[in-house]
Amino acid sequence: QSALPQPASVSGSPGQSITISCTGTNSDVGGYNYVSWYQQHPGKAPKLLIYDVTNRPSGVSNRFSGSKSGNTASLTISGLQAEDEADYYCSSYTTGIYVVFGEGTKLTVL
């Protein structure tokens, strides 16, 4: 199975909000609430931002939020900060394949 489609890049100015989409099917994103999001800064390991579609791990800013509608999951970052500039990946459980990641989205803070 190919990676879940995500926009290759998004951008926003400090203080603005942006949303990154992750499009799947009813065999993955749409069929299960096992969607997670990761933030990766250059040269660093990914960091868990959102799990089970909407939940934030302890220590993750409430500026990060997750949602899902049908087969599309979304990550919203509000009040953009320079430190949010990074790559973002979604991931989902998927029938038969078990785990699939998104293609990744590069966020630029203007």
Partner 1 sequence: QLQLQESGPGLVKASETLSLTCIVSGGSISSSRYYWGWIRQPPGKGLEWIGSIYYGGSTYYNPSLRSRVTMSVDTSKNQFSLDLSSVTASDTAVYYCARQERATVITTGTGRLNWFDPWGQGTLVTVSS
Q: Give yes or no for residue 98 binding partner 1 (CB under 8 A).
A: yes
The answer to whether 65 and 73 have CB atoms below 8 angstroms apart is no
Q: Give yes or no for residue 57 binding partner 1 (CB under 8 A).
A: yes
- Which residue's CB is nearer to partner 1, number 15 or number 97? 97
Phi, psi of 55 (to 5 degrees): -90, 140
Q: Give yes or no for residue 52 binding partner 1 (CB under 8 A).
A: yes
**Amino acid letter, 39:** Q
- Cα 40 to its chain centre, rounded Å, is 11
Q: Give yes or no for residue 64 binding partner 1 (CB under 8 A).
A: no
**Amino acid letter, 21:** S
Binding site for partner 1 (CB under 8 A): 1, 3, 32, 34, 36, 38, 45-48, 51-52, 57, 89, 91, 93, 96-104
